[in-house]
């Protein structure tokens, strides 16, 4: 019997009276006290056991898991439209303007490449093949809206209250809710989870906000982007540049410094080289200084060198997409009212096991200081937090060895440390195995395999534990996922080399790797059956 769940809230007094008259009163009262302490559902001075501010992946995961464990939960979600006017439904960045639409457009790009290559396999394909942007956009948005709908249904089925309003702190346990029409109400919660994610940055230059777009706009853009400048060389910028180029558009990437900062730089160089071979242009060590309209549907961008500081040049584009980083959407939360400490420069929140310094206030996802900004990370952290809060679990989130993939035209998957970080951490105790390879699917037609490369970082001392795995090639995300599980289990180099590969696959190249950088031997493509 659970007398502390939300379903018995209204009859608590009556039930308590009956327990007192029971011959087992002491046992039952003691058991209820234990359950209350164990589940975190003991207090009834608040309207909700948990209020989640933010309807993205991490917040929703925590909300649904908490509701399943008997908590009374509300989710606040409100999307401020972009300067272009783009807005979306519940589900957060990943579902609406991130991972999901990105992967679909990446797939559309790969399909175009596959159609053209099909001629080499005997398929009779018309000479001119092109992608209809409006049909692609419609297909992508139809899927996104279906996920929005399913999310709403799931919340309703799990009895999670959905409130379409912007939430902010009035006090640590008191949340203000401002609706689209400006009306406000107040709700209270014993526990509050901050899961508001982040939004893209704009440069502080004339015309950027009025004339530019970000990844929040590209997936629902009403017109074909045509000649596009992508400002920024992180994974978002390169992924957008990659699928736009694959869809047939003229694309230029402007880099302030290096591509894929934070990733292994040898792999980043190979990715860039592959993109250049595909016709994507790069402008190095420059930043935009001004944007203005010049004629119908054209934007003139002025830019300068970050080193020499003088004006370098001007160029005209149809679309300018800014991918210069993201900032957490914590500005409007009024965190000071809840006593939550945060970094005033970044807007990010420091946590210990997702708990902030303010009692009863938690945070997950992209708002966290120093944690991976990845959807699966937020989901896992949200679920584990819910179980600790409402079922007595002690399991903590492990942020180490989280795999990820950059969905550039040729994909890059990795897990563990980059070579740069591993060298700093392990110095002379590091061994690097590496190899170039030729995917079977790249042989008909004969495709460039210059960037098909992988490497494994392991310790030299026994048991030679693997600390990093990097792979560039087709289906990199699918390849690296299984090896991520192996790394979680502490796989060693001997165990990897003892693993029998599946032939012919690209993933088997990890099991065939034997040349070290230290040996100086040529890591060029080996025979497929050697």
pLDDT reported for residue 41: 52
Structure tokens at 72: 């009374």
pLDDT reported for residue 525: 85
Low-confidence stretches of the chain (pLDDT < 50) are 1-39, 42
Q: Which of 38, 173, 470, 503 is catalytic?
A: 503
What's the CA gap between 134 and 342, in Å, rounded?
Answer: 42
Residues 292-326 pLDDT 10s: 999 889 999 999 999 887 777 899 999 999 999 99
Positive or negative: CA dihedral 490, 496, 500, 503: positive
For the chain, the domains span 1-43, 45-200+325-400, 208-324, 410-512
Structure tokens at 452: 């098909």
Q: Is 503 one of the catalytic residues?
A: yes
DSSP H or E segment with residue 299: strand 299-305
DSSP H or E segment with residue 419: helix 419-426
The whole-model pTM stands at 0.90
Positive or negative: CA dihedral 67, 72, 73, 74: positive
Residues 42-91 pLDDT 10s: 456 999 999 999 999 999 999 999 999 999 999 999 999 999 999 999 99
SS3 (DSSP) at 333: helix
CATH class of domain segment(s) 208-324: alpha beta
pLDDT reported for residue 11: 43
Contact indicator for 161, 77 with CB cutoff of 8 Å: no
What's the CA gap between 396 and 354, in Å, rounded?
Answer: 9
Place of tokens 């439904």: 89
pLDDT reported for residue 312: 74
How many CA atoms lie within 13 Å of 348's alpha carbon, on the beta-carbon side?
Answer: 17
In CATH, the number for domain 410-512 is 3.30.390.30
How far the first Cα of the chain sits from its last, in Å, is: 65
SS3 (DSSP) at 315: strand
Contact indicator for 235, 406 with CB cutoff of 8 Å: yes
pLDDT reported for residue 530: 61
CATH class of domain segment(s) 45-200+325-400: alpha beta
Q: Are 208-324 and 410-512 in the same CATH fold?
A: no
Residues 208-257 pLDDT 10s: 999 999 999 999 999 999 999 999 999 999 999 999 999 999 999 999 99
pLDDT reported for residue 526: 79
Alpha carbon 316 to chain centroid, angstroms: 32
Q: How far are the Cα atoms of 161, 167, 387, 420, 486 from residue 156, in angstroms, in the given order? A: 7, 20, 20, 48, 38
Short-list 298, 216, 274, CA closest to 449: 274
- 169 Cβ contact partners less than 8 Å away, ≥ 6 residues apart: 175, 176, 192, 333, 334, 335, 337, 338, 340
Length of the chain: 530
SS (H, E, C) 240-254: HHHHHHHCCCCEEEE
Contact indicator for 30, 171 with CB cutoff of 8 Å: no
């Amino acid at each position: 019997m659970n007398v502390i769940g939300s379903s018995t809230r209204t009859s608590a007094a009556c039930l308590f009276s009956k327990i007192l008259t029971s011959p087992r009163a002491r046992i039952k009262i003691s058991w209820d006290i234990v359950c209350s302490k164990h589940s975190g559902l003991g207090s009834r001075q608040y309207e909700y056991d948990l209020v989640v501010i933010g309807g993205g992946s991490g917040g929703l995961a925590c909300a649904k898991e908490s509701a399943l464990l008997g908590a009374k939960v509300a989710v606040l979600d409100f999307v401020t439209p972009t300067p272009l006017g783009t807005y979306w439904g519940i589900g957060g960045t990943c579902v609406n303007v991130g991972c999901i639409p990105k992967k679909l457009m990446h797939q559309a790009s790969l399909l175009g490449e596959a159609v053209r290559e099909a001629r080499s396999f005997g398929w009779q394909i018309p000479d001119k093949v092109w992608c209809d942007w409006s049909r692609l956009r419609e297909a992508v948005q139809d899927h996104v809206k279906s996920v929005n709908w399913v999310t709403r249904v799931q919340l309703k089925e799990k009895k999670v209250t959905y409130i379409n309003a912007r939430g902010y702190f009035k006090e640590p346990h008191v949340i203000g809710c401002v609706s689209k029409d400006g009306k406000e109400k107040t709700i209270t919660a014993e526990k509050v989870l901050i899961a508001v994610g982040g939004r893209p940055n704009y440069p502080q230059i004339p015309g950027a906000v009025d004339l530019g777009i970000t990844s929040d706009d590209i997936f629902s853009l009403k017109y074909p982007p045509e000649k596009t400048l992508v400002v920024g060389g992180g994974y978002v910028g390169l992924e957008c540049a990659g699928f736009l180029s694959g869809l047939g558009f003229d694309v230029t990437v402007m880099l302030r410094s290096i591509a894929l900062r934070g990733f292994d730089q040898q792999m980043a160089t190979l990715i860039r080289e592959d993109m250049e071979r595909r016709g994507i242009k790069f402008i190095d060590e420059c930043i935009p200084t001004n944007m203005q309209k010049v004629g119908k549907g054209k934007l003139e961008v002025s830019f300068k060198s970050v080193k020499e500081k003088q004006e370098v040049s001007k160029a005209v584009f149809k679309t300018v997409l800014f991918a210069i980083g993201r900032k957490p959407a914590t500005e409007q939360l009024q965190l000071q009212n809840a006593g939550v400490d945060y970094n005033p420069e970044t807007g990010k929140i420091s946590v210990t096991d997702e708990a902030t310094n303010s009692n009863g206030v938690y945070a997950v996802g992209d708002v966290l200081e120093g944690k991976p900004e990845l959807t699966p990370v937020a989901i896992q952290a949200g679920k584990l937090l819910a179980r600790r809060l409402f079922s007595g679990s002690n399991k903590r989130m492990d942020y180490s060895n989280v795999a990820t993939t950059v969905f550039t035209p040729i994909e890059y998957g990795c897990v563990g440390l980059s070579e740069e970080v591993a060298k700093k951490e392990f110095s002379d105790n590091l061994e690097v195995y590496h190899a170039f390879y030729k995917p079977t699917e790249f042989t008909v037609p004969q495709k460039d395999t210059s960037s098909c490369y992988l490497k494994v970082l392991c310790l030299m001392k026994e048991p030679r534990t693997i600390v990093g795995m990097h792979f560039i090639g087709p289906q990199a995300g699918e390849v690296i996922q299984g090896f991520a599980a192996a790394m979680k289990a502490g796989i060693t180099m001997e165990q990897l080399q003892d693993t029998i590969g599946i032939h012919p696959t690209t993933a088997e190249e990890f099991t065939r790797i034997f040349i070290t950088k230290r040996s100086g031997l040529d890591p060029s493509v080996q025979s497929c059956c050697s």
